Each structure stands twice: as C-alpha cells, then as structure tokens.
Structure 1
Amino acid sequence: MSYSNLMKQAKLPLFVILTFLSCHQQPKEQEIVEDMEIEEIKPVTPEYYQLRPEVENIYGYTHAVKIGNIIKISGAVSMDADGNPTGVGNFEQQMVNCYADLDQILKHFGCSFDDVVVENIFTTDMPKFIETAAYRNEIYTKHFPTGSWLGVKELAMPEFLIEIELEVHKQE
C-alpha cells in the first residue's frame, strides 16, 4: 500500500504512519547475510570396498563405494572367491548366495538390510524370480526398499540367473 493511500484510509497522523513504515522496512541484503550462519562444506573422500579384490581387478570394478552416508553396491551374483559361478541352474540358491554377499558388504560398512533404500534386481528368468521373491521377506524384515525388477537377456556369465544391486543410506 502506498503512503498516500495509507494516509487517506487510516486518517492517522503523519508521524504515526512514518514510524510504522520505518519499523517495518525489509532488512538490507547485507544485514541478512551478516545474520546468516554459513556452514563450511567439507569435501567427502569416497571409501571403496572390494569383496573379491582379485576378481574385481580382473574385470575392472569395485563392489561398493561409500560417499558420505550413501553406499552404492554393484550387482551381486552367485560366485565363489575365484569368480566361478555357484548354484548353477538353481535359481533359489543363486538368490541366497547374492544376499549373503550383499550382507557381507553391508556389515563391512556397519549397515544391515534395514538401511537399504534401493534394490534393483536383474534376472534372466522373471517367472522363476516371481516364484521365489517371497524369500526377500527373510531379508527385509522391517520394510522393503524401492527399486526395480528387470528381466534381461543375459548377465555377465551365462550361468548367472540373478543379479542384485543396492543403494544404502547409512544412519549417522
């Protein structure tokens, strides 16, 4: 509202209106900045973790990386310490093996499946996954994460039937 309109409508003495206006002025930008607390942003160094260093170095990947309180975990497949497929032809066993590897990685970072916020599952046999998906109730006992279930033509090796990747939010 303009000064003249305020005077006409309120019929207040000029000194009252000027006092009101001077008390309710917006602070200048410099005053706002001086009142703000500025938090220093510190760089975060990624922490890398290899579950099977020899295998991961051969294929050129790292199984997990933690940046701040977020952990990204590469897809786990059913393999032994030498990178050989395990549970060949047995979908349920491969799923169990994937979750066992993921559990080991989570524990390395002081986490559990309760901290998982995204789970993406890739499978070459979606009907078999749907048939065995109830096993996940043993893994996720408090809540299920978000994620996707994707049917794919093939995984890294023809023996692999399922691959599971995670994103974790570690509670500080």
Structure 2
Amino acid sequence: MVSKNTVESFGVPWEQSYGYVQAVKHGDTIYLSGQVAHEGTELVAPAPVGPDGRVTDFTNTAAQMRQCYANAARLLKRFGASLDDVVDEVIYVVDADAGDAAAGPVRKEAYGRPDPQVASTMIGTPRLAFPELLVEVRLLARM
C-alpha cells in the first residue's frame, strides 16, 4: 500500500519510543503533533519540579510557548508552509493563569500580527509528557 502522506520528524528519542511523527501532510492539510519546548534532545526553559514531581514555578510558560511555535514553524517550513497557514491550534497548559498571561503576547509575536487569524483553544492539564514541561501546542495548517 502506497501512503498518500508525507511525514516529518526531529529525530528525537521520544518519537521512536512513543511511536509517532512530528507532522503529517495529507493533501493540502498539515497536522502537527503537539509541539513542546525543546532544541534537539534538550528541554528549553524547563520548569523546576519538586520532590513530588509537580512543577513549583510557572514563570517559564512564555519561554516554553515561544519554543513550541519556533519548532512548529521549522516543521511547517519543511512542507513549504508557515505559521501563516495555520487555521487551528490547541494549547495545553499546566497552569491556566500562566498560560493565559503568556498566550496573547507570544501568539501575536509568533503569528506576526496583533490579531492572529487562527481558531484557538486552551486546555488546562495536570501534566505533560515530561514533568518540566508547562505548555504544548498542537496545530493544523492548510495550504
């Protein structure tokens, strides 16, 4: 069976251990897996975690969110697309207040306009894939 999909990955270990790709292009639609704050295998602006495994400070939410959008932009570029092609996003945050405070400025910066033309949903969650993560952004783009 020949796949109609084109896929992209970063080559990080968790792609293989979990079993997924970072992005799938099917027709004119690009589906991005949830993007987290990493460069290579290193987390960017990891949150401090207490002995109980819970985040103790949410200050790095904006820095992590910026990296999520930077990673998404890198993936989209591989398909000849950009954040301008994003039509829908879901932002998962460990702390809703910190996420809400960061989302406006960071999203406007990422999309390069004061009124991003993107459907957006923010969801609070008790934890993400790594304990030090504060935010994950999943996007859908149309070309």
TM-score bucket (shorter structure):
0.7 to 0.9
After TM superposition, give the deviation of residue 49 of structure 1 in Å: 0.8
After TM superposition, give the deviation of residue 135 of structure 1 in Å: 1.6
Asked if residue 128 in structure 1 is aligned to residue 101 in structure 2, the reply is: no
User: Residues 124 and 162 of structure 1 are in contact (CA less than 8 Å); yes or no, is this contact kept in structure 2?
Assistant: yes
Asked if residue 85 in structure 1 is aligned to residue 85 in structure 2, the reply is: no
| Larger helix proportion of the pair | 1
Q: TM-score, normalised by structure 2?
A: 0.81
Which one has the largest radius of gyration?
A: 1
Unaligned runs of 5+ in 2: 48-59
After TM superposition, give the deviation of residue 118 of structure 1 in Å: 0.5
* Structure 2 equivalent of residue 154 of structure 1: 127
* Structure 2 equivalent of residue 166 of structure 1: 139
Report % sequence identity. Answer: 33
Asked if residue 103 in structure 1 is aligned to residue 73 in structure 2, the reply is: yes
Q: Report the Cα distance in structure 2 between the residues aligned to 1:58 and 1:80, rounded to whole angstroms.
A: 18
The correspondence for 1:62, drawn from 1, 10, 21, is 21
Q: Which has the higher contact order (CA 8 A, sep 6+)?
A: 2
Unaligned runs of 5+ in 1: 1-42
User: Residues 66 and 110 of structure 2 are in contact (CA less than 8 Å); yes or no, is this contact kept in structure 1?
Assistant: no
User: Residues 12 and 40 of structure 2 are in contact (CA less than 8 Å); yes or no, is this contact kept in structure 1?
Assistant: no
Paired residues in the alignment total 127
**CA RMSD between the two structures:** 1.7
Runs of 4+ in 1 over 6 A off after TM superposition: none
